[in-house]
């Protein structure tokens, strides 16, 4: 499976929507969307390129929804108009069209929700609790707020979660309002799904202040080898990633920027990955696919280097040996996973996932630590 196909699936599942820092709002509202919807016709018969086009389009729309609903709606209208014109002959491309149409429906619902205040939903439900649709909207709105905090401020996330559950439990409903009661049950289950993320983030926050772990590297790629001594007195950013990880690839522009900006300032960026032995990479097209046979360590090392070259990565990449305990030590449960370590060798921050909020938080801390 190509990583772009994974990426479009992620868009449809909604994992790309991330809160945008307030400081970026004004800039975001005036920025020109990085999507030309008419490009769909240029890639219509190439299902991989079409999939990548949709992934990019919905990523931009997802980012716009929370900061400029009008711009998001305008872009959706333009994209939908071009999709209706699209009549691909390639069966694989044809199969992508209804998926894109469903994604448009999902994002239109999110835009509508973004224009509603949670206080207004509460007032409406206090007045008349037997409103299944409003209950669902309330759950979604509360979920958006909790999601934005669950990976950065677990205490605040839990506080909002408990407040939302308390509100739902307090709704005046009787057995005659079966649909509303069913909606409340579903809403509470939806809000409880953040328990795992909140607990995971608490564990990551608890890592702050712990010592940097000794390096465990079988093979260095894309640069000269480093030792533990080389990291002393440096601000260290450890990026846990994989070639098959679409969200990891979306962080590459930030990694490239940080490497170029801070490389001469007591700064070290290391991309930590593992052997997977089942992928091959076309360094001409940038496509990742299943290898016909398990790859040797040497073949995978070469593939990772080709991958780095294609994506113009300049920082060192490190392939961990089998049995490495680094992921466990740093609490890695999902990637991309970034750990920031200060010049004293102490963990200062961990962020999981791609998105502008995480990138901004990491960069601000790196700049602060470099100056210390």
Cβ neighbors of 3 (< 8 A, separation 6 or more) are 243, 244, 245, 246, 249, 288
What is the C-alpha separation between 236 and 298, in angstroms, rounded? 27
Residue 211 shares a structural domain with residue 78: no
Residue 167 shares a structural domain with residue 225: no
Out of 151, 177, 203, a domain closes at: 203
Out of 164, 180, 203, a domain closes at: 203
Residue 194 shares a structural domain with residue 283: no
Residue 236 shares a structural domain with residue 365: yes
Residue 229 shares a structural domain with residue 307: yes
Q: What is the pLDDT of residue 286?
A: 83
Nearest alpha carbon to residue 111 among 134, 139, 81, 141: 141
Q: What is the pLDDT of residue 146?
A: 95
Residue 31 shares a structural domain with residue 173: no
Average pLDDT per run of 10 along the chain, which is 372 residues long?
42 36 38 76 93 90 86 94 94 94 93 92 96 95 91 93 97 91 96 95 94 97 95 97 92 95 94 93 85 90 94 96 95 94 97 89 96 90
Q: What is the pLDDT of residue 152?
A: 85
Residue 297 shares a structural domain with residue 335: yes
Q: What is the pLDDT of residue 255?
A: 96
What is the C-alpha separation between 326 and 331, in angstroms, rounded? 8
How far CA 55 is from CA of 10, 20, 195, in Å, comes to 8, 19, 29
Classified as helix, coil or strand, 355 is coil
Residues in the chain: 372
Please count the structural domains in the chain. 3
- Can you give the residue range of the structural domain that contains 110? 3-114
Q: What is the pLDDT of residue 314?
A: 95
What is the C-alpha separation between 297 and 242, in angstroms, rounded? 15
Residue 182 shares a structural domain with residue 104: no
Cβ neighbors of 178 (< 8 A, separation 6 or more) are none
Out of 203, 227, 256, a domain closes at: 203
Residue 90 shares a structural domain with residue 167: no
Residue 295 shares a structural domain with residue 314: yes
Contact 33, 60 (CB under 8 A): yes
Q: Which residues pair with 196 in a beta bridge?
A: none
Q: CA-based angle 55:59:64, to the nearest 5?
A: 150
Residue 230 shares a structural domain with residue 144: no
Residue 8 shares a structural domain with residue 136: no
What is the C-alpha separation between 277 and 162, in angstroms, rounded? 44
């Amino acid at each position: 499976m190509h990583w772009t196909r994974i990426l479009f699936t992620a868009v449809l599942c909604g994992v790309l929507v991330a809160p945008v820092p307030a400081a970026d709002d004004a800039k975001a509202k005036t920025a020109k969307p990085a999507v030309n919807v008419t490009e769909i016709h240029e890639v219509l018969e190439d299902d991989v390129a079409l999939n990548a086009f949709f992934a990019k389009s919905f990523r931009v729309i997802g980012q716009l929804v929370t900061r400029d609903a009008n711009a998001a709606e305008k872009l959706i209208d333009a994209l939908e108009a071009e999709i209706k014109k699209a009549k691909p002959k390639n069966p694989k491309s044809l199969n992508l069209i209804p998926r894109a149409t469903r994604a448009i429906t999902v994002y239109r619902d999110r835009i509508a929700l973004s224009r509603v205040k949670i206080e207004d939903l509460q007032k409406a439900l206090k007045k008349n609790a037997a409103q299944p649709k409003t209950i669902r909207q309330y759950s979604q709105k509360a979920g958006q707020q909790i999601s934005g905090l669950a990976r950065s401020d677990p205490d605040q996330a839990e506080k909002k979660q408990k407040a939302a559950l308390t509100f739902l439990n307090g709704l005046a409903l009787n057995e005659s309002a079966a649909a509303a009661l069913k909606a409340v049950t579903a809403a509470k289950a939806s809000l409880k799904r953040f328990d795992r993320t909140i607990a995971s983030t608490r564990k990551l926050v608890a890592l702050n202040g712990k010592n940097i772990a000794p390096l465990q590297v079988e093979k260095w790629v894309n640069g000269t080898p480093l030792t533990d001594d080389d990291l002393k007195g440096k601000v260290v950013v450890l990026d846990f990633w994989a070639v098959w990880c679409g969200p990891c690839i979306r962080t590459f522009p930030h990694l490239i920027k940080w490497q170029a900006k801070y490389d001469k300032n007591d700064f070290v960026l290391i991309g930590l990955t593992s052997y997977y032995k089942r992928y091959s990479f076309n360094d001409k097209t940038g496509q990742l696919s299943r290898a016909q046979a398990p790859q040797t360590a040497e073949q995978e090392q070469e593939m990772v280097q080709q991958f780095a070259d294609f994506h113009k990565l300049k920082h060192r990449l490190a392939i961990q040996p089998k049995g490495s305990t680094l992921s466990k030590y740093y609490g890695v449960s999902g990637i991309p996973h970034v750990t920031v370590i200060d010049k004293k060798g102490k963990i200062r921050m961990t962020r999981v996932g791609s998105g502008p909020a995480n990138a901004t938080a990491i960069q601000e801390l790196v700049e602060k630590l470099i100056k210390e």
